[in-house]
Amino acid sequence: MKKGWSFGGFPVFGYDSNTGVKYGGIVKLFDYGDGSNYPMYDQNIHFELSRTTKGSGINQLTYESRKLIPGIRMLAEASYLTEKVLDFFGFNGYNAYYSPSYTTSGDPSYISPVFYRMDRDMVKLKLEFIGKLSGNHWKWFGGFEYFNNRLDTVDIDNLNKGGTPMIICQQLAEGCMVIL
């Protein structure tokens, strides 16, 4: 049985050819209170800070509590997320037009390896509450979420820094132009 605060830390490491090396860490803090509810915790704080060498990153802080407001579970989150090559295949899901030839080097229809990608910066703020209505099966949920997205095209020059240039082909009326 655990009592009081406990913590854990995790390294973040990875590699993606489009975004580079990912590095950072995650820290989690748990408050088990007097231990009477173990393995459940009274409060939880999660902090992640990670980056990639090409500019993507996660800055996230979450707080979850079962004791701040008695009888109500609360979750708060503040995040700033940057994705330099986020997949985007168009609106309308299955009905969106997709042509793999646009991203296949050597194909006559080739445009770019990142044709179906975008650059996104997102600020996310969230506050949620969950409470019991009757017994353990009926609950209520309420909350607030705020998203602010900045969308842009992929910055090819940034992705090409420090490595082999990505060959980008832009479709023109008279044919194809290669940009290094």
pLDDT in tens, 157-172: 777 766 554 444 444 3
137 occurs within a structural domain: yes
Mean pLDDT computed over 21-47:
93
| Strand bridging mode 72-87 / 57-69 | antiparallel
Number of domains in the chain: 1
108 occurs within a structural domain: no
CA distances from 123 to 28, 142, 152, 162 (A): 21, 20, 15, 29
103 occurs within a structural domain: no
Alpha carbon distance 41, 5 (integer Å): 9
Integer-rounded Cα radius of gyration of the chain: 23
Alpha carbon distance 89, 170 (integer Å): 18
Mean pLDDT computed over 78-90:
90
107 occurs within a structural domain: no
Count of C-beta atoms within a 10 Å radius of residue 22: 18
99 occurs within a structural domain: no
177 occurs within a structural domain: no
Residue scoring higher pLDDT (34 or 91): 34
CB 24 within 8 A of CB 12: yes
Parent domain of 141:
5-89+117-155
78 occurs within a structural domain: yes
Beta strands, E only, 2-155: 5-16, 20-31, 43-52, 57-69, 72-87, 117-134, 138-152
139 occurs within a structural domain: yes
Q: Where does the pLDDT of residue 178 fall: very low under 50, low under 70, confident under 90, or very high at 90 and above? A: very low
| pLDDT given for residue 111 in this prediction | 83
Alpha carbon distance 26, 8 (integer Å): 8
Residue scoring higher pLDDT (101 or 27): 27
